[in-house]
Copies of this chain bind each other. A is one copy, B any other.
Amino acid sequence: MSRFFSRRFDSLAAYTPGEQPQDQNYIKLNTNESPFEPSPKVIEALNNSEVAKLRLYSDPECKLTVKAIADYYGVESKNVVLGNGSDEILSFIFQAFCDKDTPVAYPDISYGFYSVFAQLYGLESHVIPLKEDYSIDVDDYCGIGKTVIIANPNAPTGIALSLADIEKILVSNPDNVVVVDEAYVDFGADSAVNLTRKYDNLIVVQTFSKSRQLAGARLGFAVANEDIITDLNTIRFSTNPYNINRLTLLAGEAAINDKDYFENTRAKIIANREYTALELKKRGFRVLDSKTNFLFAAHNTAGGEMLYKALKADGILVRYFNKPRLSDFLRITIGTREQMDALLTSLDKILSGKDDNDA
């Protein structure tokens, strides 16, 4: 820390992303990326002639990409705003709809960035424990009178709420914004996008990082009532009007328009998830009911940290959280069938107390 750093950040603990090793070939099941390449339409769209146009600024209004997303979800362009990843959208939301008079409420176990934003922007946080079974108690959020942020499905648990539950929270907090972070919704949960037509206090946040294979392009978006989007654009144009680069705008447009590829790849992920969950259960794991592209699983005897380290030593990266209530678990991204079989084989070795080094 320099002697110039604002004192208000004395205790700011930045977000720790999952390991992104740049120099070794792991089976990478630790940051919920897709095992599939982006749509061939994306590869086609990002051609040399578009790269040559990088000399020009991107469209600050992101018109074509916004329209493609709006069309896909059956809303209007005025209901959509884009971010440099959904993290940036969340950052805009925390700035726009929270302040010293409006605290933020979120579950104690959820996406780790919510508490970082709350610290960064000096907000009072109302952190609500999950139930014993790791699910969200909807009643905790009803009539809470704060900005509510819920990941649905939740991370790292993978558990989804029903739309009826989301609606209950919306109806009981008419004067507060309710944010539903749907980073993983395409893998089996119900999106609240259609509810944005009915509730002016709802913001749905999504990302192209998981189900649309574009984690490295950085594209997220929010769908909401027109006035909410206007506010988010006010923050966006006060932060970084050219927040989305030209190639990512093109990639996003091509990806959302390739519906077949999207349906095909997400169906594979869901099938691989169900297969892996079953196989993990056979091996003595407790596996939470996931509607995402990852599984959150704890073995009945082997500890989470040991398994994480042993898998890493065997060339397989999964995510481990050394935190209360989470430290028995591994968060395992769903990859290809071959990758999942490699994981299971490695687990068999580890759990039987043997590894290659013993051979």
Contacts and interface: CB of A to CB of B under 8 A. Distances in A.
Interface of A: 1-9, 12, 14-17, 20, 22, 28, 31, 33-38, 42-43, 46, 48, 51-61, 63-64, 84-85, 87-88, 91, 95-99, 101-102, 116-117, 119-120, 175-177, 200-201, 209, 213-218, 225, 227-228, 230-231, 233-248, 251
Given A15-B241, A85-B242, A231 B5 contact: yes
A216 B2 contact: no
Nearest to A116: B238
A22 B1 CA distance: 44
Given A22-B59, A85-B240, A234 B9 contact: yes
A244 B14 CA distance: 17
21 contacts: A2-B200, A2-B225, A3-B227, A4-B228, A6-B95, A9-B96, A14-B233, A15-B241, A17-B57, A17-B237, A17-B242, A33-B55, A34-B55, A43-B48, A46-B51, A57-B215, A85-B242, A87-B240, A91-B239, A245-B248, A247-B247
Given A43-B48, A97-B5, A98-B6, A246 B216 contact: yes
A156 to B, nearest CB: 16
A12 B238 CA distance: 8
Contacts of A42: 51, 54
A305 B291 CA distance: 58
Q: Most chain-B Cβ atoms within 10 A of its Cβ — which of A55, A85, A102?
A: A55
A99 B12 contact: no
Given A14-B234, A234-B12, A215 B56 contact: yes
A57 B216 contact: yes
